[in-house]
Structure 1
Amino acid sequence: MPYIDSTPKDYPMVFEEDNLTDVFGQMLIDNGWTHARTFYKAVVDTRAYFRITDRVNYAVAKHSIFRNADGKLLGVATVGQFDLKFRRENSEPIRRPNDDIDPSDVNFGMTPSWDVWVKQKFANTDAKTNLYFYMLEKLPNDSLAPNGSVVSIVTMPGMSNTAYDVDRDRDRENWRHWWYGYHYNEVYQFDDDPNDLKYDGKVLSASPYHVIRSALDIEVLGTGWDGAAIEAYVTHTDPRCMQSPIVKTTLRAEFLENVTHPIWHTNWWTDSEVSVRGHVDSRTIFLIMQADNAPTWEKNLVPTIPLYFGKINSLDGDKDEGYALFAGTIPPASRTAVRNEVTRLSREVYPNTTTFKVVDATKLPDPPALLTLQGKEVIKLVQKEGNTLTVERAQQGTEAGIYGTGTTVARLSTNNANIPNETVVSLYDFDDPGATVGETIQPLLKVYPYHPSNGVDSVMVSRSRFGARYQAHYLSWNAPPNQIPPTRMTEDGRKYPRAFESMENTTNYKYQFNASRYSGKIHSSRIFVIHPEEGVRGYLDKAIGFNPQSISSSTKLRVRKENCPEKVYEMYKYFSVGAVSPITKIPATPFRQAGLGIYMEDFNPQEVPHDITNDTTPASEVTITKAVSPEVETIDIEFTLPLDKDLKHVNIYVDGKLYAKGITRTTFYRIAGLTTGFTPEIKITTVDLAGNESVGVIAPSVTVV
């Protein structure tokens, strides 16, 4: 099933919030991927060993790693983060890794065991719609992170000289609210305690961000605690995993709910469904996901989210092994960088004043735009002539006030403390190159300096031509100028697609981008992946880009296949993406938002549909053309497919056991995890539309290196 759409009620796969990553993994396995490893990583703050303040931070991540037909690895994780209080030790003791089996620990013999307790806490705190994706080049050492295990560490910022950021990694009261700006009228301070654990003036108690980052990391697999030196240190690592920066994908705004077991202030539940549509085959996934938006459909708080992991198709057909990863997320309620667009009033204004004099109007954006007065009142800029502004007062629920000469007039910023979070999210400026929103979550042992991608503000690419990992790349396609009419923005400054006004109702210039009057076609192109230094790398698999104006959400596009004697078309489904992603924001795309077509199927208007009702004959066999062992513990198989019209997919068996099923859209497969020195029997079978499976073909014998 290369094209999937989980929205129909009778679709065989149901993506519910409680099983989202499990069903996601099963979807990959059913389409030719293999499950490579699953393990938990549990992280505890140093305060569990050395009491500083009343709280100890914990995080538990469940990692699932999958391998595609090319042998490329994709990791997906979810995280539960929580804390324990010393003042509640009698009812819930402060736990430490493997404390139940350590005779020197006061928790020796405690039940449940550490591993069972970790999994219970994860089940109760897992933020299931915050998905984390990453690339890696090898699995973690099997002796340190075996399948199904719990890997446990104690962490602190800067341990063993790992990267440290004071604001991000240091704990403080209500850290999460401070970092994400969930509650905009609170002041967050950290009062140093004389007993704080410090090094070079830095408080080393780990923030929620730092324990989450440590849980998402898969390269630090063991740490120790030195009670005499009062220090955590790294003991076991596997840096050759080459884990990428972790891409955070949030399916809805986090401030919409507060779920603290057993209290649920939300209207999303374990059986709430997530819509998943798009293309998945044995090498590439390009999906559009959306949580249930019935509880809040306005203000772009539950938008459509893209997820791409797949090969970058080379322009000249060489063996370029570049892979791309990107996704989308909700604009955060704060932490969004904006340009310094600020000036001051040159004359006092009163509540009924609608004409302002400012010092330098060139510092302000062109109308229409939302501005703030002293960070309090929101006003709408209607006209700008010289240093005179015509405005509409008291926007976004604020009140008109009196402001004196010298009052700050600034573009509405997502860092503004007086604007509701929902409004700030809805006013995210997709046209501002400086408005970066993705968190660049680095592995503990890596920094990837200068231009690493976070997979949201840019496209992450596995490797440059000469070896640089995970650099930021951008998209290029047959795009019109970004400033072409009409202004893709509502009167109150919203730029996400669902806010756009129809041509009939807009007060903007009456304009729509039609199919060409000369060719009668909507002109599209491949979506190219480019880099400022390396130029064009290739293009995304199974996707096209075009101007989306005047195209309805139900539109399907067909593209004539080249070098095909019959009139065969590639069919693409149009998707509108609302999340912040390389598809929707400048400069990652040259025109926002890109019209996105995702491949559905080939279509031949002259072809007679195959009757599977009485079909009992399987498709013909594949022809195996090559079998080699090029790398340790792997065998590569190349084959050609039969020409049967009813061929659905192929399966691969290793020593009589099913290794990979549902393999499509490839004639190459890398079999991994084999034992060095052995010569396994490898068989490939074909499966047709009626479900008939062939006897299969045995590959030439190969000894695993």
Structure 2
Amino acid sequence: MSFSESRFQQGIEDLLCNGSDASERWTQLAQFTRVAYQKDAREPLICAALHYILKSPKGDLFGIAITSDEFQGVAGDNIFQQGYDRLNSDRRLTDLYVYTLEKYALTFGSNQYISTSNGVKRAALDLESFGSDLRLDHQQSPIIPVRMRKVTNSEKFFTDKQYSNWWEDSQIRVKGYYDDKMLFFTIQSDTSPAWANNETPKIPLYFGRFSSFSEDNGDNVALFAGTYEGATKKPIMPLRKDYYSSPGSGISNIIVRQSKYGARYQAHYLSWNATPAQFPPNQGGSLRKTANEINRYPFNPSTYSDQVEASIAYIIHPEDGVYGSLSNIILSNHLSILDGDELEVQTAYCHTSSENSEAHDHYDDYVVTAIDSACPFTIIGSTPSLPTLVAVRKNKPTYINSELTNY
């Protein structure tokens, strides 16, 4: 599976919808271009967005969009064509926008255009306002802006002078796991053109159901992502939404579709068994001495058993408390564990007996990834300790590592 900058949306769709296991395949609910333009302007601002809406086997909707830059057009009957042409000739390939909806009316699946006085990019990404037809029942979430790498102001594509060494066919590395309920990927642009100063960080993307500790039917979903540190972390709200307090951003916190008691898309946070805030301690003196301060901390890997302290990732709300935990992900401290290492997590304990002499303990394999973008794993307030090491479940064929197929 290959992912390039110009075909990243299509790559994600191909991955989810064409898997080898039919029970894990997602479906494309809609694909369309939406063009928004400034209302009652002679030279209106225009912005176009290409949307893909994917549906998990459990029925949850995940949207991923890219946009053109906002540009000044000409009023007239061909506004949609102006936006469509700009989207195909000068789209910003490094910026993604992800969201979820509770439903989407298929009658709006074809190409659309809308006039607005509330910001053309916001209107192009909104999926609740269709001219005079309002569909607030779509319940679109706050839209998360994801910037995959540093972008200079002079970087342009499709021009006679190239200001960047990233190209349309530059490869994006995707690793992670998906099944019929959720997906978790890490995304990283080509690091060769700018490998220093964290200009091409690893971006997490989580969407789907989580393990709920509440008395619901387990069909709630969580959504969060990451972004380049210098990019905006503020979500884009749908045109008809302005939540009173603490809406989820998906970058500094986690968006949960519905809280324990009914509020939609409120900010939730991570909680996990973290090390003390002063960790790692002063490592002066010989590490072999038992009196060395590092040996007083139980979270570093054991020299004797090679075991590591790990924790599930709890989803909590400041008022409502613990809601559940992220699926197929565990968290740990980064010390002495490298990107790509594998952890075995014991999930079942079996004891041999005269009746069952061949019983064995059961383990799940997890692959470690170090995430260094701005996201709920790294922003203080959403996570209790820095840095956080993330390990994702490895379960073929739905464990994905695009590096294994590109070379």
Same fold (TM over 0.5): yes
Report the Cα offset of residue 120 of structure 1. 2.1
Over residues 167-198 of structure 1, what are the superposed CA-to-partner deviations in whole Å (9 max), with x where a residue is unaligned?
Answer: xxxxxxxxxxxxxxxxxxxxxxxxxxxxxxxx
Is 1:578–2:364 an aligned residue pair? no
Equivalent position SS for 1:559: strand
The answer to whether the Cα contact below 8 Å between 2:68 and 2:90 also exists between their aligned partners in 1 is yes
Whole-angstrom CA distance in 2 between matches of 1:70 and 1:563:
30
Identify which of 446, 462, 474 aligns with 2:257: 462
Over residues 36-85 of structure 1, what are the superposed CA-to-partner deviations in whole Å (9 max), with x where a residue is unaligned?
Answer: 11111101123xx434xxx6321000111111121111111000024236
Report the Cα offset of residue 116 of structure 1. 4.5
Match of 2:392 in 1: 598
Match of 1:481 in 2: 276
Whole-angstrom CA distance in 1 between matches of 2:343 and 2:154:
38
Identify which of 62, 87, 93 aligns with 1:122: 87
RMSD of the TM alignment (CA)? 2.5
Over residues 130-176 of structure 1, what are the superposed CA-to-partner deviations in whole Å (9 max), with x where a residue is unaligned?
Answer: 1111011010x333x13xx221111113xxxxxxxxxxxxxxxxxxx
Superposition pairs for residues 161-200 of structure 1, below 5 Å?
none
Query: Structure 1 regions of 5+ residues with no counterpart?
Result: 1-12, 86-93, 101-113, 158-209, 223-234, 334-436, 488-502, 603-647, 649-661, 665-705
Match of 1:243 in 2: 140
Report the Cα offset of residue 318 of structure 1. 5.7
Is 1:448–2:243 an aligned residue pair? yes
Is 1:216–2:125 an aligned residue pair? yes
Match of 2:22 in 1: none
Superposition pairs for residues 66-85 of structure 1, below 5 Å?
66-84=54-72
Identify which of 495, 502, 516 aligns with 2:302: 516
Whole-angstrom CA distance in 1 between matches of 2:62 and 2:330:
23
Over residues 336-372 of structure 1, what are the superposed CA-to-partner deviations in whole Å (9 max), with x where a residue is unaligned?
Answer: xxxxxxxxxxxxxxxxxxxxxxxxxxxxxxxxxxxxx
Equivalent position SS for 2:368: strand
Report the Cα offset of residue 510 of structure 1. 9.6
Whole-angstrom CA distance in 1 between matches of 2:174 and 2:157:
27
Question: Which amino acid is 1:562 matched to?
Answer: A
Q: Which runs of 4+ in 1 moved over 6 A?
A: none
CA shift in 2, pair 1:510/1:274, >3 Å? farther
The answer to whether the Cα contact below 8 Å between 1:310 and 1:540 also exists between their aligned partners in 2 is no
Query: Structure 2 regions of 5+ residues with no counterpart?
Result: 20-24, 351-358, 400-407
Report the Cα offset of residue 117 of structure 1. 4.2
The answer to whether the Cα contact below 8 Å between 1:256 and 1:266 also exists between their aligned partners in 2 is no
Is 1:142–2:106 an aligned residue pair? yes
The answer to whether the Cα contact below 8 Å between 1:545 and 1:597 also exists between their aligned partners in 2 is yes
Question: Which amino acid is 1:297 matched to?
Answer: W
Whole-angstrom CA distance in 2 between matches of 1:262 and 1:217:
30
Whole-angstrom CA distance in 2 between matches of 1:557 and 1:577:
17
Match of 1:133 in 2: 98
Whole-angstrom CA distance in 2 between matches of 1:563 and 1:237:
54
Is 1:534–2:320 an aligned residue pair? yes
The answer to whether the Cα contact below 8 Å between 1:213 and 1:441 also exists between their aligned partners in 2 is yes
Whole-angstrom CA distance in 2 between matches of 1:152 and 1:294:
39
Over residues 254-292 of structure 1, what are the superposed CA-to-partner deviations in whole Å (9 max), with x where a residue is unaligned?
Answer: 226521642532111111000000111121111111000
The answer to whether the Cα contact below 8 Å between 2:49 and 2:124 also exists between their aligned partners in 1 is yes
Is 1:252–2:149 an aligned residue pair? yes
Is 1:546–2:332 an aligned residue pair? yes
Over residues 608-654 of structure 1, what are the superposed CA-to-partner deviations in whole Å (9 max), with x where a residue is unaligned?
Answer: xxxxxxxxxxxxxxxxxxxxxxxxxxxxxxxxxxxxxxxx7xxxxxx
Match of 2:354 in 1: none
Superposition pairs for residues 106-505 of structure 1, below 5 Å?
115-139=80-104, 141-143=105-107, 145-146=108-109, 149-157=110-118, 210-222=119-131, 235-255=132-152, 257-259=154-156, 261-263=158-160, 264-315=162-213, 319-332=217-230, 437-486=232-281
Over residues 524-550 of structure 1, what are the superposed CA-to-partner deviations in whole Å (9 max), with x where a residue is unaligned?
Answer: 111111111111111101100111111
Whole-angstrom CA distance in 1 between matches of 2:315 and 2:202:
22
Report the Cα offset of residue 562 of structure 1. 2.1
Whole-angstrom CA distance in 2 between matches of 1:247 and 1:466:
24
Report the Cα offset of residue 518 of structure 1. 7.2
CA shift in 2, pair 1:535/1:518, >3 Å? farther
The answer to whether the Cα contact below 8 Å between 2:212 and 2:325 also exists between their aligned partners in 1 is yes
Is 1:61–2:54 an aligned residue pair? no
Match of 1:19 in 2: 7
The answer to whether the Cα contact below 8 Å between 2:47 and 2:69 also exists between their aligned partners in 1 is yes
Query: What TM-score comes out, normalization by structure 2 length?
Result: 0.86
The answer to whether the Cα contact below 8 Å between 2:122 and 2:238 also exists between their aligned partners in 1 is yes
Whole-angstrom CA distance in 2 between matches of 1:256 and 1:556:
40
The answer to whether the Cα contact below 8 Å between 1:33 and 1:282 also exists between their aligned partners in 2 is yes
Equivalent position SS for 2:44: strand
Identify which of 525, 539, 543 aligns with 2:311: 525
Whole-angstrom CA distance in 2 between matches of 1:560 and 1:317:
27
CA shift in 2, pair 1:558/1:36, >3 Å? same
The answer to whether the Cα contact below 8 Å between 1:14 and 1:23 also exists between their aligned partners in 2 is yes
Over residues 526-585 of structure 1, what are the superposed CA-to-partner deviations in whole Å (9 max), with x where a residue is unaligned?
Answer: 111111111111110110011111112231000112256422210000000010000111
Report the Cα offset of residue 483 of structure 1. 2.6
Match of 2:356 in 1: none
Over residues 593-616 of structure 1, what are the superposed CA-to-partner deviations in whole Å (9 max), with x where a residue is unaligned?
Answer: 2110000028xxxxxxxxxxxxxx
The answer to whether the Cα contact below 8 Å between 1:547 and 1:594 also exists between their aligned partners in 2 is yes
Whole-angstrom CA distance in 1 between matches of 2:134 and 2:159:
36
Match of 2:33 in 1: 40
The answer to whether the Cα contact below 8 Å between 1:312 and 1:538 also exists between their aligned partners in 2 is yes
Whole-angstrom CA distance in 2 between matches of 1:450 and 1:563:
45
The answer to whether the Cα contact below 8 Å between 2:173 and 2:187 also exists between their aligned partners in 1 is yes
Question: Which amino acid is 1:301 matched to?
Answer: E
Whole-angstrom CA distance in 1 between matches of 2:58 and 2:146:
25
Question: Which amino acid is 1:152 matched to?
Answer: Y
CA shift in 2, pair 1:260/1:274, >3 Å? closer
Structure with bigger RCO (C-alpha 8 Å, 6+ apart): 2
Report the Cα offset of residue 119 of structure 1. 2.5
Whole-angstrom CA distance in 1 between matches of 2:184 and 2:277:
25
Report the Cα offset of residue 213 of structure 1. 0.9
Question: Which amino acid is 1:312 matched to?
Answer: F
CA shift in 2, pair 1:17/1:260, >3 Å? closer
Whole-angstrom CA distance in 2 between matches of 1:35 and 1:246:
19
Whole-angstrom CA distance in 2 between matches of 1:586 and 1:527:
15
Report the Cα offset of residue 30 of structure 1. 2.1
